[in-house]
Amino acid sequence: MIFFQPYENPFYFFILFIALLPIMISILHGKKIHIYESLISLFFLFLTFGGPSWKQGIALIIYTIYETCLTFGYLYYRKQKNNQLVFYFTIFLTILPLALVKIATAIHNQKLSLLGFLGISYLTFRVVQTVMETRDGVIKQLKLSQFLPFLLFFPTISSGPIDRYRRFIKDYEQIPKQDEYLEMIKKGIHYIFIGFLYKFILAYIFGTLLLPEVQAAALAQRHNFLGISWSLLGVMYVYSADLFFDFAGYSLFAVGTSYIMGVKTPMNFNRPWQSLNIKDFWNRWHMSLSFWFRDYVYMRLLFMFMKKKTFKSRITAANITYILNMLLMGFWHGLTWYYIVYGLFHGFAIVINDAWLRFKKQHPGKLPHNRATKYLAIFLTAHVVCFSFLIFSGFLDKLWFISK
């Protein structure tokens, strides 16, 4: 039996194409065969979590049962009562497996813990979102036959994009018209081929061919003050390109496959290197994650601070919330100093960006606004982002703290 990581092997795409053919034919004939879709999902989950990864497969099964019981248990409770402490405790329990995995992974030097499996973060985001919207009264009922396909949707299980329950279920149950579905197939195939270009060509050039060379050159000059060198600048640029093309390529595979299955999974990237400022960047980069943190962390923390009048100024409350929100995102990536600094860096960058936007609003007409300033803004934003990715990469940890 052959086992694969999602979208990592050309033969994976051959099997994927064969598996998707009956789905395409059935939707074109105005039907959705959910039983077949479920069997295909189980098959691809087996390809990912079977064989050498069987321990991850067992962890996934246990996790799914645990989170499903929590979600449906809270729904049953919410129909009768709405105690805030019960809600907070339920959220704590839903996040607990992920937190334990992150802590165990940090202690054991990045080795996946016994509780962990590929994609646990993204499944946790889906469960937390579902519980929160259940508490808000937006989700009033859940069906196991819908919740499990949402939670275990195989095209996006390992690294997103992060979908929303109500949006997913609408697409999952709805059968698109033939013309609409043909357009979805066209877009899906287009996304997959762009994904091939990004992940298997450009990411290979930057990540496999160039990155080791510039890293070796930078390490050879580590005796410089803080290891600063032109080679280190090269590491910053090359790693940023590799990170984008690798992750954007994967995301396009996931979105393209979803479209062919009749589900319009949200896009993760929208020309992030054309961002005019750091806030604009987070509206374009890993959008499903940044929007999730915005809706389920930032907005709720800000509302709590404003309701309890924790801070006198709304601006202060917003700034503190920005920093806490991005710091939490940093911790989510991992319990290392460079992930935490990366989160803080972006938190303070957003605060500074907001202050600058307020200054411009208060002084209309006093600052130039033309094509040159637009390109300057894009240039500066891109370099701020690339520097943050250098921090994120962990290369500075190797450069500064790990001896030869």
Query: What single-letter amino acid sits at 331?
Result: F
* Gap between the Cα atoms of 288 and 291, Å rounded: 5
The residues, ordered by sequence, that sit 6+ positions from 221 with a Cβ below 8 Å of its Cβ are 227, 229, 231, 232
* Gap between the Cα atoms of 231 and 219, Å rounded: 9
* Gap between the Cα atoms of 241 and 207, Å rounded: 8
* Gap between the Cα atoms of 8 and 206, Å rounded: 17
Count of Cβ atoms closer than 10 Å to residue 8 Cβ: 15
Are the beta carbons of 290 and 278 closer than 8 angstroms? no
DSSP labels, 230-274: HHHHHHHHHHHHHHHHHHHHHHHHHHHHHHHTT--PPPS-S-GGG
* Gap between the Cα atoms of 4 and 298, Å rounded: 36
Catalytic residue positions? 333
Query: What single-letter amino acid sits at 255?
Result: V
| Strand, coil or helix: 382 | helix
CA 18 to chain CA centroid, Å, is 28
The residues, ordered by sequence, that sit 6+ positions from 401 with a Cβ below 8 Å of its Cβ are none
* Gap between the Cα atoms of 374 and 352, Å rounded: 18
